Structure 1
């Protein structure tokens, strides 16, 4: 087979989010329409104009051994936890180059040189950087951790996951703000499709719940200041939406060539059709109001990934709950798909998880894959009064069943700097 035409499939998923410490509990929370947002406690948050966030439901310290955790930034801790779940879910029992004692002859050993990682982060080890600077100021040079640099590096999550699984085909870290996690998965798809790898562990992670990022986002007027109603603060497509709510966690999937997955008898969730990418070239933080750049990414997806609008049954929208961004996304969908948008069940899961920045594309890809797998679209919560300009079939109130048969689902991710990435997955 021509390597450029290789079929790519999803064989494993993992997550740790504000709704649960693994993919199953996260999915349960999404389907139940449960918010993971709460009031931030502690003196360091007391004077901030924004005092709400979606913190991880399970702290990494409850999962990882202390000697390991103290050498990893929180973002890398989340990535490692999600990657371990995805790796095991895909049926792998150890790093590449090893074979489990009970492995059958039909389960081929993974060639480390054919295994890669692509784990993205929008900000990287920001909490390590800020906390260690405080240590330097308050306690002096000798108290600064010698692990600081490898902890704060944005590539640390991908590098540590590559060490965990024994990947040698490449450990990559695309950084494109809130589109980072989706771009990582798109890059992973291309690694397999081009023939450079057979298996790639890919996703996104973020851990930026710290006073400085929150103060900065708050002063930009990008975040909701609805401190009196934390669980109702993230309200995509609602007329009263007033900014996003910061979240933390990670979402990771295992991608494989269909041939490799079939040889080892792997369970397949769905096919990863491909990606569409564009850039707005409009403003460093403000979304382009007409959705022009998003539309270009969607057209790229349709043209290169065998995506037929008539087959799209579900969209996991970027929908951060900002006044301008939410509507620009709808306009883009209409401009490209026209009346076909009417049969696309649209979910905005950030209404429950908050916005995980560079981790959003990873977590929302997990949600998109599971929506196809279970034929169920999660609800968008807190939409008490749908904006009339949100001209789409927004799933509200309760989860909705998706139709049987051939189906495509799309995950949208956009970021500061004008980055647009859309991913498509299918069951056929």
Structure 2
């Protein structure tokens, strides 16, 4: 018999705060975590979503702050909040709790810093734990060590879908193996010169003299590209039976998912991105045996990309048909920016809070809807409405796509 998998714990680290309630309240109030940001090699005005070091220090002890890369610290903080939320010490065997965490850029911060030290001061001054701190599985390993979780432990790296791939794999692992729970999510700390320089060359991210409050404006006619940000989103998944037995609070049930990839290298595959994303959403709907008409809200990927937002609007229109103008759509990126591999799990958490509180999230900074995105129902303000199902899209600008479907329990 197929197991029903639910979410019982959640933790967020983002540019607008640390903790789920803090993020939710600030987001609904329209607060943005995007600020002006200076970085080497970029001579134009740059914006980024940076996590507050002062807030991070309230969760992470000073003693370990300088011993781990920033992406690991974010994951540790988010996991600590999620595990406390799930009441991990009640009814769980820690030998059967796994940790799956994804990241696109991994420990790039520590690599850049240590390369500078290498050239300036020589190899003897390089951090002795450089390689250990740089590994993609460093966050999952550190979480397991910190909380003595002894189940399967994996680090995932697949671009902006890294975090959500960990959630899919967690779902499948609980279905197929004898584990009690999986701590899953994504973490990212990409605010370093190498990343900014690469994205500038590609022309992917926002680099104009837009006013600060218009830097990231998904689906808006004035959007100029995405704003890079950092953070982490971590959830705890377990079976419905386990959650009910423990008396745990249930935020929602993962009922379906889809995953796809578009080949950007093959020029003969025109519109491959579009069809790949359509396929991704359809897979999610089919795996959940859900008709598109029964989706109550779409948490869009909506990264504020010029091409990406336009394409996602067309994808939603293609899958949902005439109903596309009725099902509400929103994106968090106007306040949070695009946290690459952490963006998917962060959106999942916002979606689950929406289900729990029965509130539809708005798209912050959306003032003038791009006519090419006007075929979908974009929310400019939050709405209180009865909702049972949410589709959460996580589309990577490099071809990876994941769609997750959650249901109220």
Measured against the shorter chain, the TM-score band is over 0.9
Corresponding residue number in structure 2 for 1:56: 51
Are the equivalent residues in 1 in contact too, given 2:262–2:272 (CA < 8 A)? no
Residue 375 (structure 2) pairs with residue 411 (structure 1):
no
**Following the alignment from structure 1 to structure 2, what is the Cα–Cα distance between the partners of residues 230 and 256?**
41
Alignment: residue pair count: 405
Are the equivalent residues in 2 in contact too, given 1:178–1:357 (CA < 8 A)? yes
**Following the alignment from structure 1 to structure 2, what is the Cα–Cα distance between the partners of residues 166 and 308?**
42
Change (3 A) 1:377 1:300: same
Are the equivalent residues in 2 in contact too, given 1:50–1:218 (CA < 8 A)? no
Are the equivalent residues in 2 in contact too, given 1:49–1:218 (CA < 8 A)? no
Secondary structure of the structure 2 residue equivalent to 1:15:
strand
Residue 361 (structure 2) pairs with residue 394 (structure 1):
no
1:50 CA displacement? 4.6
TM-score, length of structure 1 as denominator length: 0.90
**Following the alignment from structure 2 to structure 1, what is the Cα–Cα distance between the partners of residues 341 and 273?**
24
Secondary structure of the structure 1 residue equivalent to 2:406:
strand
**Following the alignment from structure 1 to structure 2, what is the Cα–Cα distance between the partners of residues 329 and 160?**
36
Are the equivalent residues in 2 in contact too, given 1:271–1:427 (CA < 8 A)? yes
Superposed counterparts of 1:45-194, under 5 Å: 45=40, 47-59=42-54, 60-93=56-89, 107-108=90-91, 110-194=92-176
Secondary structure of the structure 1 residue equivalent to 2:371:
coil
Q: Which digits, 9 at most, give the CA deviation of each residue in 1:185-234, with x for residues without a partner?
A: 11111111223422111111100111221121122111111345122111
Corresponding residue number in structure 2 for 1:220: 202
1:46 CA displacement? 8.0
1:58 CA displacement? 4.5
Corresponding residue number in structure 2 for 1:248: 230
Are the equivalent residues in 2 in contact too, given 1:273–1:426 (CA < 8 A)? yes
Are the equivalent residues in 2 in contact too, given 1:280–1:293 (CA < 8 A)? yes
**Following the alignment from structure 1 to structure 2, what is the Cα–Cα distance between the partners of residues 123 and 23?**
24
Change (3 A) 1:399 1:150: same
Instruction: Provide the alpha-carbon RMSD of the alignment.
Output: 2.0
Change (3 A) 1:190 1:39: same
Corresponding residue number in structure 1 for 2:342: 359
Are the equivalent residues in 1 in contact too, given 2:256–2:285 (CA < 8 A)? no
Are the equivalent residues in 2 in contact too, given 1:15–1:22 (CA < 8 A)? yes
Of 19, 31, 49, which aligns to 1:22?
Answer: 19
Corresponding residue number in structure 1 for 2:323: 340
**Following the alignment from structure 1 to structure 2, what is the Cα–Cα distance between the partners of residues 166 and 369?**
27
Of 153, 157, 180, which aligns to 1:198?
Answer: 180
Moved more, 260-269 or 288-297: 288-297
Secondary structure of the structure 2 residue equivalent to 1:246:
coil
**Following the alignment from structure 1 to structure 2, what is the Cα–Cα distance between the partners of residues 153 and 419?**
21
TM-score, length of structure 2 as denominator length: 0.94
**Following the alignment from structure 2 to structure 1, what is the Cα–Cα distance between the partners of residues 299 and 216?**
15
1:72 CA displacement? 1.2
* 5+ long unaligned stretches in structure 1: 94-106
**Following the alignment from structure 1 to structure 2, what is the Cα–Cα distance between the partners of residues 417 and 389?**
21
Are the equivalent residues in 1 in contact too, given 2:15–2:50 (CA < 8 A)? yes
1:336 CA displacement? 1.7
Are the equivalent residues in 1 in contact too, given 2:41–2:193 (CA < 8 A)? no
Secondary structure of the structure 2 residue equivalent to 1:208:
coil
Moved more, 313-322 or 194-203: 194-203
